[in-house]
Structure 1
């Protein structure tokens, strides 16, 4: 298949021609997945997010007249969807954690919880210095990426990279439930 340009893709999609969807996939799937990794640290989740975006784009074909750059629209949509995903996770994992401690106490005794908490903090201390500082700022102090970047004298993208590395290292050495017991 010849690679279609944006205009050809949009015309084919609006006509209901699946070649337009295939052209969209060929042109943008991998770049959008890589872009999503700037926000989330799972390639599988990035793929799911992009596939869902393409499905919705296909389902809405012909219903709205598309103006502007398809590329800009897609990248903006991915960024929006990633942020939405992060916010939904943060609300579950980090906000109001006190409400979940009662549920966890049924599974773990307070001594076991304290041991797990100590193990978590020991693993945090093993992180490379910048990763540790970023993790502490974002997760423990509940700072926004921009705030942490300003505090540490880093770019926002560097903060995101350090956080992803810290989370990956912690996940590999700890059970995920420990991340819920941070506070």
Structure 2
């Protein structure tokens, strides 16, 4: 065994002893900061893993090693708590904040929400207007077909459709380009 491998072997033995003697005490020390046992154990384990990764750069049996481990455990606990506080604050902010679609006219809506808004607006129309709109845009019927079914003139159908579009433009002006696209593509 070379001197270097002997030195490495001795460091590994010293590290193993350090871990076995101090893992549990450092988990108890972490309890000063964090209640959850699993989280404390994870933090202490991470400190020891980090130490293991740099085994060649330190002396496991030196006096400063315990102080270093203690400082790392404390800092990792505080970092964990700081991150938790950030997550809680963010979650609280999201919970308190009104959904964007309730207070901003240019917000993003789902397709179902847009359909719902369209149908709510159509419900404000007289029955004939609504029927003309639905038959024309949703069912793809011509003005002549609708006029024949409703016993109305084609001119009346044009007027109903025009009035419906005016109402939609007034009520849903922010969404008209998308609604027109939906209606033209026949997805409504």
Q: TM-score, normalised by structure 1?
A: 0.43
Q: Which of the two has higher C-alpha Rg? A: 2
Q: TM-score, normalised by structure 2?
A: 0.42
